[in-house]
Structure 1
């Protein structure tokens, strides 16, 4: 239960009007006074303790940065890496018509052909990669000089590409670091379409599709506990929170619910092993209140004048301020409340 939610099925509200007493459910339906007074009740104690908003949710072991890698090479796929393999700078991701598509590092995609006379940040990025691969482009300055062209031809010869002296998106894919082949989307012998492989980074994570109603639990840096398959609990933290709610679908139709993407990184990623897409349970922790009074949620009464109240065991009704809802209880405060006092709750 969350702060601010109306609790359906809680005890009826006590309305004082002209000296009469009537019962009003939280849904607004008026019942006969006799029926309300005859409803069986029990009592529960007001307790003082720490209260934490926590919930166990489903998660999936995986890798960060999953995406269908765009392909710009025309022809037939002739070779792909095995699923699960990793590729570093200068390595090939797949081959089209026998020609490799090479990985380079950076943050600027190959959006144009780079050749003699080109200049800009993307040229500088290319020069840094050429130098890291052992092909000296001269000064790394963002100007595609004859030295840059010579380094490109030497790199192309070593990589098995045609020695054109120019570079385009059919030859190079740019990523921020090493890539892992998560899925092959175009088998050898098929046409190289918009994508040939789906990739991820090599960083191990736990992915969660969190119900949007629980988004108060989604705080970057918040501690979590992950129950690993056969490996016991592991501690981690939320390291990424999606900013867009994705609608849940059932048979192609929206259900009315939505989720947000969370990523959790473990304090010791080695505990995740090599498992991919394995289900896990993640214990999320939200707000935490120390040394507060609380009652069972079903003890709350909705008051006519607004807000909530409690019906004490001595039949007095007192107004209360509510705070955190967690584990079936709600934080309460108000004049005259004390630990150990008895409040009425519906008898189950």
Structure 2
């Protein structure tokens, strides 16, 4: 047993040394593992950093140019697209209506507006109506000029006319006195027709003379319309209006008396009607330009054709705030070719600065100390003073700000 104990005792140092060697190997392996992990992490981190550096986008600087031009503020009012004011057409004389046009019909010079007793009443253009019968050669007047102009425009040979200042003689019947009343004691005596009375008239500007050539033209025109070719025109035989019309509605029907309201008509051209306050209308003149916002989101230029002088209260409006009517036409009517009526927004220039420097509002840089500046692509700031703001643009001025220079913008 002592021997066995000695072996046992002798073997302990050997086991201790083996254990130390094992611990040392484990430590070396651990150290190498840590070193490897460190190197791997460093390599991975480096790659990630390089990847991040390559992935970082370079944002270009947006720029714009300083331009020179007009800039205007605007005031906007509501408008309506239509055919303008409605005119009521009334017949005259005795008879019965035998024909009427359909609503929506366009009637031009020489075309019939309605018919009385199956005789057409055509349209003539003019400012003065046919206020008397034209049945005497040598008659002078503006109504004769109206007939002359229309027949000439329709292609009839109307001949020449005396110059203004020419004296013209007209044979006018003096009128026969009434015959003596018949009695049982005094026989009836027929008085002879008295001779014609000669009247001398001077032709003035805007007048014409009912000449033989004009009477012949009237007869030719009457034959063309299948009317009695008398060469005479009677009150109510033609309807005189300033221009062509579009029938908007009928007020009568066939068989009605000819002397009442027959129909309503408007202009043939589409117009925009806007109702404005007196102060707004006072700043608008004929020929002024405006911008109309259309229903499809686009805009179209328009021109003012008239500014009304009669105050009116819109339906449902405030009676204490009457409006004036401003009428406009589109510069490009084809923009609304397929639209007959619509509500629109009309913008008028309220204040205009001509030939000033402007930039997009997004180019303005607010300064901490107050005011604004423009920034050059190199980063320099140029202080500016601002003027009118309109339509995304702003008027700018300042030392160093010139037309064509490039500045930074946010968009």
TM over 0.5: yes
1:274, distance to aligned residue in structure 2 (A): 4.3
8 Å Cα contact 2:131/2:143 also seen in 1: no
Distance in 2 separating the partners of 1:164 and 1:273: 44
Give secondary structure in 2 for the equivalent of 1:198: strand
1:54, distance to aligned residue in structure 2 (A): 2.9
1:58 matched residue in structure 2:
78
Match of 1:116 among 124, 136, 145: 136
**Is residue 307 of structure 2 the alignment partner of residue 241 of structure 1?**
yes
Give secondary structure in 1 for the equivalent of 2:77: strand
Structure 2 unpaired stretches of 5+:
1-69, 163-207, 356-388, 391-411
2:253 matched residue in structure 1:
187
8 Å Cα contact 1:73/1:171 also seen in 2: no
Give secondary structure in 1 for the equivalent of 2:209: coil
1:303 matched residue in structure 2:
none
1:259, distance to aligned residue in structure 2 (A): 0.9
**Is residue 345 of structure 2 the alignment partner of residue 281 of structure 1?**
yes
Deviation track 1:68-121 (CA, whole Å, cap 9, x = no partner) reads 234324333222222222222211111122221111223322121112232223
1:172 matched residue in structure 2:
238
Deviation track 1:223-252 (CA, whole Å, cap 9, x = no partner) reads 22212233732111222101222244659x
Distance in 2 separating the partners of 1:203 and 1:115: 36
Match of 1:135 among 156, 171, 174: 156
Distance in 1 separating the partners of 2:128 and 2:145: 10
2:294 matched residue in structure 1:
228
* Residue 112 to residue 277, structure 1, CA distance change in 2 (3 Å): farther
8 Å Cα contact 1:51/1:289 also seen in 2: yes
Calculate the aligned-residue CA RMSD, in Å: 3.2
8 Å Cα contact 1:86/1:180 also seen in 2: yes
Match of 2:91 among 68, 71, 84: 71
1:125 matched residue in structure 2:
146
Match of 1:211 among 273, 277, 282: 277
8 Å Cα contact 1:153/1:165 also seen in 2: yes
Q: Which aligned pairs between 1:1-348 and structure 2 lie closer than 5 A? A: 54-64=74-84, 66-117=86-137, 118-141=139-162, 142-230=208-296, 232-248=298-314, 250=316, 255-288=319-352
8 Å Cα contact 1:124/1:140 also seen in 2: no
Distance in 2 separating the partners of 1:59 and 1:284: 12
Give secondary structure in 2 for the equivalent of 1:214: helix
Structure 1 unpaired stretches of 5+:
1-49, 292-325, 328-348
8 Å Cα contact 2:281/2:326 also seen in 1: no
* Residue 284 to residue 115, structure 1, CA distance change in 2 (3 Å): same
Distance in 1 separating the partners of 2:248 and 2:149: 27
Give secondary structure in 2 for the equivalent of 1:163: coil
Deviation track 1:285-306 (CA, whole Å, cap 9, x = no partner) reads 3234689xxxxxxxxxxxxxxx
Distance in 2 separating the partners of 1:277 and 1:170: 33
Distance in 2 separating the partners of 1:161 and 1:225: 50
1:272, distance to aligned residue in structure 2 (A): 2.0
TM-score (ref. length: structure 2): 0.52
Deviation track 1:36-62 (CA, whole Å, cap 9, x = no partner) reads xxxxxxxxxxxxxx9955333221112
TM-score (ref. length: structure 1): 0.61
Comparing both structures, which one devotes a greater share of its residues to helix?
2
8 Å Cα contact 1:218/1:286 also seen in 2: no
Deviation track 1:105-155 (CA, whole Å, cap 9, x = no partner) reads 233221211122322232133123223334323334422233333322221
Equivalent pairs, count = 245
Comparing both structures, which one devotes a greater share of its residues to strand?
1
